[in-house]
Amino acid sequence: MKRVLLVSYYFPPMLAVGGLRALYFARYLSEFGYAPIILTSETEETIQAEALQQLPACCEIRRVANWYRWRQDVSIEAVMVAAQLARDPGFDLVFGTAPTWSSIKTAAIIAMVFRRPLVVDIRDPWTCGTAWFRRNMYWQASNRLWELYSLRRAKRIIYVDQRQTEMMQQRLSAASAKKMLTITHGYDPVPDAPERHGPTDMFLLLHSGNLYEECRPPKLLFSALALACRNPEFAAQSRLLLFGNVCQYKDLVRQCGVEKQVLFSGCLSFQDSIHAMQGADMLVLYQVHREAALQPTSKIYEYLSTRRPILGIIASDGAAADLLRATGTCRVAGNSDLQTIAEGFLAAWRDWRAGSLETHTLDLTRYNRRNLTAALARQFDEILSDTTSARHGG
């Protein structure tokens, strides 16, 4: 079995959605002939510890001390650990997955030092889009240079949406464009075991995940809900349940006057959160950053896997909106202003009251994480085959 060094700052039991993609690749790669060696940061978090039980016995995890997320540069400590791994047990290929960009930078240096093929899982565009932080001119220039270096060195460059891939093929050189491909986010099938985390006689909407000022501003969401609550029947019959690190917004909820309508829950394990989604009347997909139209959140695939109706408070012309419309049962409300979002809440409530909410039957086979990992393994096969041929002059 070949070995792949998977470099990812985030990895369970760390509670970060950024580690789930690395987790499911590591979970399934052995089925396609690759034993993963995970190079990741140390963590004291434990809430996602059960996720580690999904990994195969051949998977090795090496955690690096002093790998600081805020530095966003190459982790010298990780390179030193990679030097040990290069000797024993050895690895055939380096796979770096963002976020953070430190993961990609570190993977690129490891691949260069130990002369291994490099695959970079950029996910969302590096120097544009919602993942691009413009701290200062030095930061911008440095990261643009790192992007050019990493993409030139890589044998494959992976994005999570075809629109992203096509956009980047136009922005970068023809040589880099030929190496780009799309492997979307996905889902793991979870048994249907719905758990209701709210009143059974009310319209229960559920939003899973954190809220961020940049792309999911909490005040906009709560203010729109308050506007919808001017309809007294909606206010009396509807509840919005929030999962994740969101309890700090209780004061803001009171300021917006929707403390009766908003229910808070802490963080749940991945499987428990899916069961909670299965028990809700409708799921809320919330994203207002304009450039996120090219970057569908990974949450959408988990939402779709539950078959529950979805209210999309998202750009109406984006990739996520196209996917929701394809179900025939999910509603795209738009996100242009308070009134638009409030109307989305009210329309969804009217559907619930009329008994017209339906589950969808969209074929999700292509988004199954085992199938996505198979696509990644095929790329590894091609790269290593080409490398072997080049060594033997083939």
Co-location of 46 and 146 in the same domain? yes
Give phi and psi for 279, each to the nearest 5: -90, -5
Higher pLDDT, 140 or 286: 286
Co-location of 166 and 238 in the same domain? no
Co-location of 182 and 248 in the same domain? no
Q: What is the pLDDT of residue 237?
A: 98
Co-location of 175 and 226 in the same domain? no
Supply the CATH number for residue 179's domain. Answer: 3.40.50.2000
Q: What is the pLDDT of residue 76?
A: 92
Residues recorded for the chain: 394
* Structural domain harbouring 302: 203-353
Give the end-to-end CA distance of the chain in Å, rounded to a whole number.
23
Co-location of 301 and 170 in the same domain? no
Nearest to 192 by CA among 284, 268, 299, 276: 276
Q: What is the pLDDT of residue 80?
A: 96
User: Does 260 reside within a domain?
Assistant: yes
Quote the percentage of the chain above a pLDDT of 70.
Answer: 93
Q: What is the pLDDT of residue 43?
A: 81
Q: What is the pLDDT of residue 291?
A: 55
User: Does 229 reside within a domain?
Assistant: yes
Evaluate if residue 394 carries a pLDDT over 60: no
Higher pLDDT, 391 or 380: 380
User: Does 361 reside within a domain?
Assistant: no
Co-location of 213 and 339 in the same domain? yes
Nearest to 287 by CA among 260, 256, 310: 310
Co-location of 254 and 298 in the same domain? yes
At 232-274, the pLDDT tens digits run: 999 999 999 998 888 889 999 999 999 999 999 877 877 888 9
Co-location of 180 and 209 in the same domain? no
Quote the percentage of the chain above a pLDDT of 90.
Answer: 65
Co-location of 73 and 22 in the same domain? yes
Co-location of 208 and 332 in the same domain? yes
- What DSSP letter does each residue of 58-91 carry, written as one string? T-EEEEETT--GGG-S--HHHHHHHHHHHHTT--
Co-location of 294 and 380 in the same domain? no
Nearest to 163 by CA among 335, 296, 324, 327: 296
Co-location of 12 and 142 in the same domain? yes
User: Does 363 reside within a domain?
Assistant: no
Number of domains in the chain: 2
